[in-house]
Structure 1
Amino acid sequence: MEPEEGADRTPLLKESPPGTSTGTGTVPACCSARYNLALLAFFGFFLLYALRVNLSVALVDMVEPNTSLAKNTTSNVCPEHSSTINVPRNTSGKKYSWDADTQGWILGSFFYGYIITQIPANLGVGYLIAVRALEGLGEGVTFPAMHSMWSSWAPPLERSKLLSISYAGAQLGTVVSLPLSGLICYYMNWIYVFYIFGALGVLWFFFWMWFVSDTPETHWSISHAEKEYILSSVKDQLSTQKSVPWRRILGSLPLWAIVVAQFSYNWTFYTLLTLLPTYMKEILRFDAQENGFLSALPYFGCWLCIILSGQIADHLREKQNLSTVCVRKSFTLIGMIGPAVFLVAAGFTGCNYELAVAFVTISTTLGGFCTSGYSINHLDIAPSYAGILLGITNSFGTIPGMVGPVIAKNLTHNNTVGEWQTVFYIAASINLFGAIFFALFGSGEVQDWAVSGYHLHRN
C-alpha cells in the first residue's frame, strides 16, 4: 500500500541551526561542487541534444525535392516565404531520393538504439539508420545515470534548481543546433553538421572525466562543509537494502503516473523535435536558413521556462511551504495542458507565418514547466532508485520517439494543412490524457518500499 498524502518526508534544511555545517547559509551555491556538476551536466545535455536533432535539419537538405508532389499540392500549401538574405547557398551536398516513409524511419531510428539502454549515409539508408540507432544506444544511459548521481548530490530543497539547470542544457542544445545546422547546410555542406558536433562531444568528455565524481565523498575538491551539508540532507531518504524491490516498484501507482505523463509529453515533444523543420519547410515554406532559426525559437523559450520554473518550484516548496506533490502536479498540468491548447491552435493559423510560429513557440515554452513537475518526481518518491525508475519511465517515454515520426510522416504524405492538423490533434489529446492521469495518481512523498534504514545507498 502506498503512503497517504500528507506532510512531505523532506528535511527542512532552512531550519538547521545557524552556524552549523548543514546550514544552507554556510554552503553557498557559487563555485560549489554540486553547482559545478550541474553546469557540466548542462553542457553535456547540450551536446546530447545537439547530436540528436542536427539530423532533423540536415535531412531537409539531404533529400531531393519532390517536384511532382509540389505541383499537386500547391493549392493546399502556403505560398513560398522567401528569405531576405541573398547570399548564395552551397549546393554541393549529395541528395537522396528518400520518400516520406523512409524519412520517418530515419528520424525515428535514433530511439531504437536509445530504448535498449534506457557509417556514412551514402552507403545506403540502412547504414544511416544503424548508425543513428548506435548513437541512441550511447545516449540512452545518460538520463538514468544523471538521476542516479543527483540522488546522492542534490539536497531535497535544491532538486528543482539543480536538475533544471542540468537538464535545461538539452533545450539550449536544440536552440543552438537547429539554426547552426541550418547555417552549416546553407554555407558549407550537410556532412559538416555531423563532424562539428561530434568533435565537440569528444572535447566535453575529457572535461567530464576530470572534474566529476559519482558521489560527494569521492569528489577531489569538494569542501568539508558542502560534503556534510549534502550527506546530512539526503541520508533520511536513502535506503540500505541490497536487493531492488522490483515487485513493489512495478506495482507503484505513483511510478505509473510518471510513466503515463512522460509518454504523453514526449509524444508531442519528439514529434515537434524531429518534424518541426519539415513543417517549417513544407507548410510555412521557409528556406533552410530561416528554417533552422525558427525551428529553434520554441526551444529557446522552453530553455528559459525550465530555468525559471526550477527556481520558482523550490521557492514555493521552501518559502511558501507548499507540499511537493502540489508543486509537481501544478507544474505538470501547466506544462502539458498549455502546450496541448496552443499546439491545436497552431494548426488553425493557416498561412499566418507569425501566428503559427508564435503558437508553436508558446506551446513548447510552456512544456518547460514539466521539468519541475513529473520529470524529477522520481527523486521525490524513491531517491535511492531514481536511476532505475527513470530507466523504466524513459523506456516508455522513448516509444513516442520511435513511432511518432513514422505515424506523423504517414499522416502527412501530401503535406497539407489538414494533415498537419491531424498530427497536432493527436499529440494534444495524448498530452491532455497524461496531464489528467498524473494529477490523479502522482505523489510527492518517499514511498515506503524505497526506504529501509537511514544510511547512504549506492545505485
Structure 2
Amino acid sequence: MAHPSGSYSVNAEPSDESEDNEPLLRDVTIPPLCCSARLNLASLMFLGIAVVYGLRVNLSVAMVAMVNTTGEPVPGLNGTVRACPLPAGPDNTSKTFEQPEGTPQYPWDAETQGWLLGAFFFGYLCTQIPGGYLSGHYGGSVFLGLGVLGTATLTVLTPLAAKWGPYWLFALRALEGLGEGVTFPAMMSMWAHWAPPLERSRLMSMSGNGANFGAFVAMPLTGYICQTLGWPAVFYICGGAGCLWAVFWFLLVSDDPRTHRRINEEERDYIIASIGHQGSGHGWSVPVLSMLTSVPLWAIIITQMCSNWSFYTQLTSLPTYLNNILHFDLKSNGFLSAVPYLAAWLCATMSGFLADHLIERKVFSVTTVRKLFTLTGMLFPASFLLAVAYSGCSHVLTIIFFTLTSATGGTSGAGVFMNQIDIAPRYAGFLLGITNTFGTIPGVIAPIATGYFTKDHTMEGWRKVFWVSASVNVCAAIFYTLFGSGEVQPWAIPKDEDDKDEGKRTRSVSA
C-alpha cells in the first residue's frame, strides 16, 4: 500500500479489497508452512549455508593443529603477564598437538596465521555484487549451487596447498572465497520469489542461520578429526559433504514457485498473490544512482560492516584465544568454540518467528521491528565482549560471556541482515551483494588486526581486540537507529505498478 511519505510497503498486512474494490487475497487460502515447498527450500538452503560456513571456519580450528608453534610461551617484559597459567598435571596440554604419524605441521607465526585466516575474504569480496546482479536476472538456484560446489571442491585441495607453502594456501583460500561469495546474494534473490511478506523473517532466519549451525557442527568435528585422523582429513570430509549437498540441490530446487514441479496449486497461488509484482526479476537495468544515494541502504551497509567486525573476529580468532590464552586442548577447543554458535542459531531462529509475529499482529511497523532487533543484536554483544576482556583466566566466565555475545548477536538476523528485501524486494539479491561486499571488509581486516594486536600472546593485546569490536558495534547501533528503514523505497517500485497506483489516484481525484 502507498504511504504518505511516498514509500511503498508490501510488508503491511494486505487489505481485503483494493481501491477499485477488486479482491486481492480474499480467495487465496494461506497454506500451512509445515511440509510446504517453501519450508523444504528453507531446509535445503539451511543445509547448504551450514556446509559453506563449515568450509569457511574449519581452518580456524585446524590451524591450531597445522601450526607447531601455537601456544608457545612468550617471555614477559617488565613483569607483564603474557597469558594465563598452564593447567596443572595431566591437563597441561598447551604443547604441540600430537598428530597421526606423517601429518605435517608448519612454523607459521601469528601474523602469517592472521593473513591465512583472512585470505578467504579477499576472494569473497569480489563476487558478491556480480553474484547478486546475475542472480536477480537469471535466478539464484544455479549460482547458490555452483558456489557451494566450487568451494567444496577447492577445500579438498587445502592439504596440498599447505604443503606447497603459505602463499599457495592464501591463494586457494581466496579462490574459495570467490566461489562462496555468490551464495548469500543468490539466496536473497530466491527468497524475493519465494517468501511471502508476512513469513520473510522466519523463512530467511531459518535458512540464513545455517551459518551458525555450520560453525557449531564444524568446530568440534574439526577438533575431533584433527586428533584422530589428522588435520588433512578435515578438508577431505568437509569438501565431500559440500559436493554431496550440491547433488540434492540441483535435483530438487526451482528458482520460482511457478516452475516448481512438486508444489501444490494452493501454495503456489498464495506465494504469487502475496508477493505480486515485487517477485519479478529486475532484468538487466538497475537504478544504481538511486541506490548510491539511498540513506536506508547506506544504513544497512555501515551497520553490517560494523556488526561483522565482531562476528568475524570471534569466528576466526576464538579457537586461537582458547588455545593461546586459556590453554584448552584441541578437542575441548573445538567444542567450546562451537557453543556460542549453537546459542546464536537458536536465538536467531526464535527471533525470526518473533519478528514475523510482531509484524503480522501489527504490534510494531516493519521499520520498528528491524531497528529493535538490530539494537538488541549490537548493544548486548558489545557489553558481553567487554565482559570477556575482563574475565581474566576464568574459563567458565569466558565461555559464558562468549556464548552470550553470540546469542544476543543472533537477534540482528531478524533486523538489519534481512533489511534489503524490505526496502527493495526485486533488487534484494543485488543489494545483498553490495551490502555483503562492504560487510566482508572486516573479514579481511579483523583477523589481520587481531594477529597484529596479539602477536605477543598477551592478555592486554586481546583486550584491545575486544574493545575495538565493542566500540564499532555501538557506533553501528546508533547509526542504524537514526537512518534505518523497513519500507520499500520509491526507486524499487516496478514502473508498471507505480503507473497503476498513479492511475488510481487520478481516478479518485476525478470522482
Does the aligned pair in 2 maintain the 1:239–1:450 contact within 8 Å?
A: no
- Structure 1 residue ranges without an equivalent (≥5): none
Q: Indicate whether 1:111 and 2:121 are aligned.
A: yes
Q: Indicate whether 1:77 and 2:83 are aligned.
A: yes
How high is the sequence identity, in percent, across the aligned residues?
A: 49
The structure 2 residue matched to 1:203, chosen from 234, 244, 267, is 244
Report how far residue 76 of structure 1 moved: 2.6
Report what 1:167 is aligned to. 208
The structure 2 residue matched to 1:218, chosen from 252, 255, 259, is 259
Report what 1:10 is aligned to. 11
Report how far residue 237 of structure 1 moved: 3.5
Does the aligned pair in 2 maintain the 1:237–1:446 contact within 8 Å?
A: no
The structure 1 residue matched to 2:349, chosen from 294, 299, 307, is 307
Report what 1:59 is aligned to. 63
Secondary structure, aligned partner of 2:485: coil
Pair 234,129 (structure 1): closer, same or farther in 2 beyond 3 Å: same
Pair 67,313 (structure 1): closer, same or farther in 2 beyond 3 Å: closer
Report how far residue 321 of structure 1 moved: 3.4
Report how far residue 315 of structure 1 moved: 0.4
CA RMSD of aligned residues (A): 2.5
Report what 1:141 is aligned to. 182
C-alpha separation in 2, matches of 1:3 and 1:20: 25
Report what 1:264 is aligned to. 306
Q: How does 1:283-362 map to 2 (within 5 A)?
A: 283-362=325-404
Q: Indicate whether 1:124 and 2:161 are aligned.
A: no
C-alpha separation in 1, matches of 2:301 and 2:257: 30
Report how far residue 3 of structure 1 moved: 7.6
Q: Indicate whether 1:235 and 2:300 are aligned.
A: no
- TM-score, normalised to structure 1, is 0.93
Pair 368,284 (structure 1): closer, same or farther in 2 beyond 3 Å: same
Query: Which moves more between the two structures, 120-129 or 4-13?
Result: 4-13
C-alpha separation in 2, matches of 1:444 and 1:19: 22
- TM-score, normalised to structure 2, is 0.84
C-alpha separation in 1, matches of 2:272 and 2:100: 57
Question: Which residue identity is paired with 1:253?
Answer: V
Pair 15,311 (structure 1): closer, same or farther in 2 beyond 3 Å: farther
Query: Which moves more between the two structures, 378-387 or 73-82?
Result: 73-82
Report how far residue 28 of structure 1 moved: 1.1
C-alpha separation in 2, matches of 1:81 and 1:14: 65
Query: Which moves more between the two structures, 111-120 or 58-67?
Result: 58-67
Secondary structure, aligned partner of 1:343: helix
- Structure 2 residue ranges without an equivalent (≥5): 18-22, 129-156, 498-511
Secondary structure, aligned partner of 1:426: helix
Report how far residue 91 of structure 1 moved: 4.3
Report what 2:112 is aligned to. 102
The structure 2 residue matched to 1:247, chosen from 274, 285, 289, is 289
Report what 2:421 is aligned to. 379
Question: Which residue identity is paired with 1:248?
Answer: S
Report what 1:189 is aligned to. 230
Does the aligned pair in 2 maintain the 1:21–1:225 contact within 8 Å?
A: no
Does the aligned pair in 2 maintain the 1:11–1:233 contact within 8 Å?
A: no
- Structure number, greater radius of gyration: 2
C-alpha separation in 2, matches of 1:14 and 1:296: 45
Report how far residue 149 of structure 1 moved: 0.5
Does the aligned pair in 2 maintain the 1:268–1:431 contact within 8 Å?
A: yes
Question: Which residue identity is paired with 2:400?
Answer: A
Report how far residue 101 of structure 1 moved: 1.0
C-alpha separation in 1, matches of 2:231 and 2:16: 56
Report what 1:47 is aligned to. 51
Report how far residue 442 of structure 1 moved: 0.5
C-alpha separation in 2, matches of 1:325 and 1:138: 33
Does the aligned pair in 1 maintain the 2:202–2:356 contact within 8 Å?
A: yes
Secondary structure, aligned partner of 1:322: coil
Pair 241,114 (structure 1): closer, same or farther in 2 beyond 3 Å: closer
Pair 20,222 (structure 1): closer, same or farther in 2 beyond 3 Å: farther
Report what 2:452 is aligned to. 410
Query: Which moves more between the two structures, 273-282 or 317-326?
Result: 317-326
Q: C-alpha deviations, 1:396-416, integer Å up to 9, x for none?
A: 001001111001100111111
Report how far residue 65 of structure 1 moved: 2.0
Pair 183,402 (structure 1): closer, same or farther in 2 beyond 3 Å: same
Does the aligned pair in 2 maintain the 1:349–1:356 contact within 8 Å?
A: yes
Query: How many residues align structurally?
Result: 452
